């Protein structure tokens, strides 16, 4: 009788839950950078006479869509990381979720302002709505300043301190966030006191360390994941001893 050997493919090793968490969190962090084109897309709507002029509203609507994605991604990064971060400090992890949610709320509020201005223009309200549209854009700019000038610094301090303490990533990464946080706050304060513009070279330089921190963190989490740490080890599996029976079965 011929004997045939069956070769069975070995199953792939399952991905550890912490690796999945790092991969998803890193991807969402990188997703937050899709809003960069809004600096150019929102140029027309900043014209004081925008509601009076002709032209398409498509660039503004595209920017609104991008910012909506970013707002949801802000919440997603904190929620996805919470199962790991709470092992380090649950209160700080919950604070990070709250800060990211508040940041998302400011983005949604600024988006609502933009959509209202677009609606006024499409309705053809004319010069009667000029002051209202300018007030909405001013409100949008202040929302952007608080949401993107102060809150990312709070996020950097909360998340950076957790990652630095737990050594979940190379300490250089959270150090960039911890150094960049006071620079970003100082730039926002300078903008409030009209020392420089909200969109200026100095403001961009002050925001650069935070941007590098978040982008580098996203890349690291996608490519490398968390470093080995007691905080990434799942709860110990209880081993139930096998009972020994004396005598006959």
CB-based contacts of 77, cutoff 8 Å, min separation 6: 25, 28, 29, 32, 100
SS3 content of the chain, % helix, strand, coil (to 5): 70, 0, 30
Q: What sections of 123-249 are H helices per DSSP? A: 130-145, 151-166, 172-192, 201-223
Residue with tokens 């790991």: 84
Residue 178, pLDDT > 80, answer yes
CB of 184 within 8 A of CB of 214?
no
The pLDDT tens digits for 217-244 are 999 999 999 999 888 865 433 333 344 4
12-70 pLDDT per residue, tens: 656 788 999 999 999 999 999 999 999 899 999 999 999 998 888 999 999 999 999 99
Distance separating the N- and C-terminal Cα atoms of the chain: 40
For the purposes of burial, counting CB atoms within 10 Å of the CB of 183, is it exposed (0-12), middle (13-18) or buried (19 or more)? middle
Q: What angle do CA 74, 137, 127 make, to 5 degrees?
A: 150
**Which of 210, 211, 147, 160 has the alpha carbon at shortest distance from 182?**
210
Q: Is the pLDDT of residue 211 over 90?
A: yes
């Amino acid at each position: 009788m011929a004997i045939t050997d069956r070769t069975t493919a070995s199953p792939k090793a399952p991905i550890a839950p912490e690796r999945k968490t790092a991969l998803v969190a890193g991807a969402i962090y990188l997703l937050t950078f899709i809003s960069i084109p809004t600096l150019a897309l929102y140029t027309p709507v900043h014209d004081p006479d925008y509601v009076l002029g002709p032209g398409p509203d498509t660039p503004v609507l595209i920017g609104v869509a991008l910012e909506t994605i970013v707002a949801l991604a802000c919440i997603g990064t904190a929620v996805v990381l919470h199962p790991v971060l709470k092992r380090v400090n649950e209160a700080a992890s919950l604070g990070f979720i709250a800060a990211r949610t508040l940041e998302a709320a400011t983005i949604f509020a600024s988006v609502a302002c933009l959509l209202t201005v677009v609606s006024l223009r499409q309705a053809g309200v004319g010069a009667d709505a000029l002051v209202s549209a300018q007030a909405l854009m001013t409100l949008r700019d202040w929302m952007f300043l608080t949401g993107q000038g102060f809150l990312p610094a709070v996020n950097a301090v909360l998340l950076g301190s957790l990652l630095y303490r737990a050594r979940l990533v190379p300490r250089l990464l959270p150090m960039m966030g911890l150094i960049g946080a006071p620079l970003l706050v100082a730039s926002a304060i300078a903008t409030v006191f009209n020392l420089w513009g909200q969109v200026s070279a100095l403001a961009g330089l002050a925001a650069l360390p935070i941007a590098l921190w978040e982008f580098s963190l996203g890349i690291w989490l996608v490519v490398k994941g968390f470093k080995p740490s007691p905080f990434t080890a799942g709860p110990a599996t209880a081993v139930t001893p096998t009972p020994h029976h004396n005598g006959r079965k």
